[in-house]
Amino acid sequence: MAGLHLSLAVIGLLLMLGGYLDWEFLTDPPKLMAICYSQAFLRLIFSRHAMRWVTAIEGFLIFIGSCWGMVRLLQGG
């Protein structure tokens, strides 16, 4: 289980970095990918500038959730 929380923490950090650095595949993916790619679906709703914030906030929430899960795992709960 620790590996899952660690991988989610890394994914969260990458999403925050991608939002900050404006990685195109996260902030402006092709619209045709909206059926199978969550970032493309969100891009249909938000502008590209807003997608930088959405991606960073999504990464932050995933990171916080993985840290919380790791703490609970280490406490034995």
What is the span of the domain harbouring residue 32?
Answer: 2-75
**CB of 11 within 8 A of CB of 62?**
yes
The span from the CA of 41 to the CA of 73, in Å, is: 33
User: For residue 43, what pLDDT is reported?
Assistant: 93
Average pLDDT over residues 1-25: 94
**Overall domain count for the chain:** 1
User: For residue 76, what pLDDT is reported?
Assistant: 86
pTM for the model stands at 0.86
Which tens digit of pLDDT belongs to each residue from 23-63? 999 999 999 999 999 899 999 999 999 999 999 999 999 99
The span from the CA of 54 to the CA of 72, in Å, is: 27
